[in-house]
Amino acid sequence: MNKLLIILAGAGLLTLGGCASMDNMASSDTPATQAAATPGISPEAQAALTQAEADAAEAAKAKAQWTTTDIALKAAKAAAKTGDSAAVLKNAKFASAEAKLSIEQMSYPSTDVFK
Protein backbone atom coordinates (compact mmCIF):
# COMPACT_ATOMS: atom_id res chain seq x y z
CA MET A 1 0.00 0.00 0.00
CA ASN A 2 2.84 2.36 0.90
CA LYS A 3 4.63 1.73 -2.42
CA LEU A 4 1.42 2.35 -4.36
CA LEU A 5 0.95 5.75 -2.73
CA ILE A 6 4.54 6.68 -3.48
CA ILE A 7 4.16 5.63 -7.12
CA LEU A 8 0.91 7.59 -7.53
CA ALA A 9 2.41 10.69 -5.91
CA GLY A 10 5.47 10.46 -8.15
CA ALA A 11 3.34 10.09 -11.28
CA GLY A 12 1.30 13.13 -10.28
CA LEU A 13 4.41 15.25 -9.74
CA LEU A 14 5.88 14.20 -13.08
CA THR A 15 2.64 15.11 -14.82
CA LEU A 16 2.50 18.54 -13.19
CA GLY A 17 6.16 19.18 -13.92
CA GLY A 18 5.66 18.38 -17.60
CA CYS A 19 2.74 20.78 -17.86
CA ALA A 20 4.73 23.62 -16.31
CA SER A 21 7.54 23.42 -18.87
CA MET A 22 5.30 23.32 -21.96
CA ASP A 23 4.62 27.09 -21.88
CA ASN A 24 8.19 27.95 -22.85
CA MET A 25 8.18 25.71 -25.91
CA ALA A 26 5.24 27.55 -27.49
CA SER A 27 6.73 31.02 -27.07
CA SER A 28 8.04 32.55 -30.28
CA ASP A 29 9.13 35.92 -28.84
CA THR A 30 12.76 36.67 -29.42
CA PRO A 31 14.77 39.22 -27.44
CA ALA A 32 15.00 41.37 -30.58
CA THR A 33 11.21 41.58 -30.93
CA GLN A 34 10.89 42.27 -27.21
CA ALA A 35 13.35 45.17 -27.45
CA ALA A 36 11.42 46.71 -30.32
CA ALA A 37 8.09 46.31 -28.52
CA THR A 38 9.21 47.96 -25.25
CA PRO A 39 10.40 51.49 -26.01
CA GLY A 40 8.87 52.98 -22.83
CA ILE A 41 11.10 51.30 -20.25
CA SER A 42 14.52 52.38 -19.03
CA PRO A 43 17.69 50.90 -20.55
CA GLU A 44 18.47 49.23 -17.21
CA ALA A 45 15.04 47.56 -17.18
CA GLN A 46 15.47 46.45 -20.80
CA ALA A 47 18.88 44.96 -20.00
CA ALA A 48 17.45 43.11 -16.98
CA LEU A 49 14.59 41.76 -19.11
CA THR A 50 16.96 40.58 -21.82
CA GLN A 51 19.19 38.90 -19.22
CA ALA A 52 16.18 37.22 -17.58
CA GLU A 53 15.02 35.88 -20.94
CA ALA A 54 18.48 34.46 -21.63
CA ASP A 55 18.72 32.89 -18.17
CA ALA A 56 15.24 31.39 -18.47
CA ALA A 57 16.09 29.97 -21.90
CA GLU A 58 19.23 28.40 -20.46
CA ALA A 59 17.24 26.82 -17.62
CA ALA A 60 14.63 25.55 -20.05
CA LYS A 61 17.36 24.08 -22.25
CA ALA A 62 18.75 22.24 -19.22
CA LYS A 63 15.19 21.06 -18.42
CA ALA A 64 15.56 22.62 -14.98
CA GLN A 65 13.25 25.63 -15.18
CA TRP A 66 11.03 26.29 -12.19
CA THR A 67 7.47 27.51 -12.58
CA THR A 68 8.28 30.60 -10.52
CA THR A 69 10.81 31.64 -13.17
CA ASP A 70 8.18 31.50 -15.87
CA ILE A 71 5.64 33.41 -13.77
CA ALA A 72 8.11 36.20 -12.95
CA LEU A 73 9.27 36.45 -16.57
CA LYS A 74 5.67 36.77 -17.79
CA ALA A 75 5.06 39.48 -15.19
CA ALA A 76 8.18 41.34 -16.34
CA LYS A 77 7.04 41.18 -19.97
CA ALA A 78 3.58 42.42 -19.03
CA ALA A 79 5.10 45.31 -17.08
CA ALA A 80 7.32 46.14 -20.05
CA LYS A 81 4.25 46.44 -22.28
CA THR A 82 2.76 48.97 -19.89
CA GLY A 83 6.06 50.85 -19.52
CA ASP A 84 6.55 50.15 -15.80
CA SER A 85 10.34 50.03 -15.47
CA ALA A 86 10.34 49.40 -11.71
CA ALA A 87 8.13 46.32 -12.06
CA VAL A 88 10.20 45.08 -14.99
CA LEU A 89 13.39 45.37 -12.93
CA LYS A 90 11.87 43.63 -9.91
CA ASN A 91 10.36 40.72 -11.84
CA ALA A 92 13.22 40.30 -14.30
CA LYS A 93 15.84 40.16 -11.55
CA PHE A 94 13.73 37.62 -9.65
CA ALA A 95 13.25 35.50 -12.79
CA SER A 96 16.97 35.62 -13.54
CA ALA A 97 17.88 34.59 -9.98
CA GLU A 98 15.35 31.74 -10.02
CA ALA A 99 16.68 30.48 -13.36
CA LYS A 100 20.25 30.47 -12.07
CA LEU A 101 19.22 28.65 -8.90
CA SER A 102 17.30 26.03 -10.87
CA ILE A 103 20.38 25.30 -12.96
CA GLU A 104 22.55 25.18 -9.84
CA GLN A 105 20.15 22.70 -8.26
CA MET A 106 21.03 20.19 -10.99
CA SER A 107 24.48 19.79 -9.41
CA TYR A 108 23.11 18.88 -5.97
CA PRO A 109 23.62 15.27 -4.87
CA SER A 110 20.85 12.79 -5.51
CA THR A 111 18.53 11.70 -2.73
CA ASP A 112 18.28 8.04 -3.63
CA VAL A 113 15.92 6.72 -1.01
CA PHE A 114 14.69 3.68 -2.90
CA LYS A 115 17.77 1.45 -3.01
What DSSP assignment string belongs to the chain? -HHHHHHHHHHHHHHHHHHHHHHHHH----HHHHHHH-TTS-HHHHHHHHHHHHHHHHHHHTT---HHHHHHHHHHHHHHHHT-HHHHHHHHHHHHHHHHHHHHHTTSPP-----
Residue spans of the domains in the chain: they are 2-105
Q: Does the pLDDT of residue 115 top 80, yes or no? A: no
pTM over 0.85, yes/no: no
What mean pLDDT do residues 39-49 have? 90
Model confidence pLDDT, tens digit, residues 59-110: 999 999 899 999 999 999 999 999 999 999 999 999 999 999 999 998 888 8
